[in-house]
Amino acid sequence: MPLIALGIKTPEEGRAAVRKQAEAGVDMIKVYSTLDKEVFLAIVDEARKYGLKVVGHIPDSIYVEDAAAAGLRSSEHFFGFGKVIAKLLGERVNLSYVGSGSDADYFQRLGEVNPEELQVVYQRIRASGLTICPTVITFKATTDTSTFKTGSFPRSEYISQKVLDIWKSQWSQQDDAPNYIWQKWAHMVSGLNQAGVPLMVGTDLMLPGIFRGYSVHDEMAIWQETGIAPADVLRSATIVPVQFMGLDKRLGTIAEGKTASMVLVKANPLDDIRNAEKIEGVFLRGRYFSRHDLNQLLEEAKRLARN
How far does CA 172 lie from the centroid of its chain? 24
Average pLDDT over residues 130-142: 95
pLDDT of residue 56: 96
Listed by start position, the domains of the chain span: 57-250
The residue among 109 and 97 whose pLDDT is bigger is 109
Using CA atoms, how far apart are residues 136 and 182, in angstroms rounded to an integer?
6
Average pLDDT of the chain is 93
pLDDT of residue 14: 97
Average pLDDT over residues 37-54: 97
DSSP per-residue letters across 116-135 = HHHHHHHHHHHHHT-EEE--
Indicate whether this model's pTM tops 0.85. yes
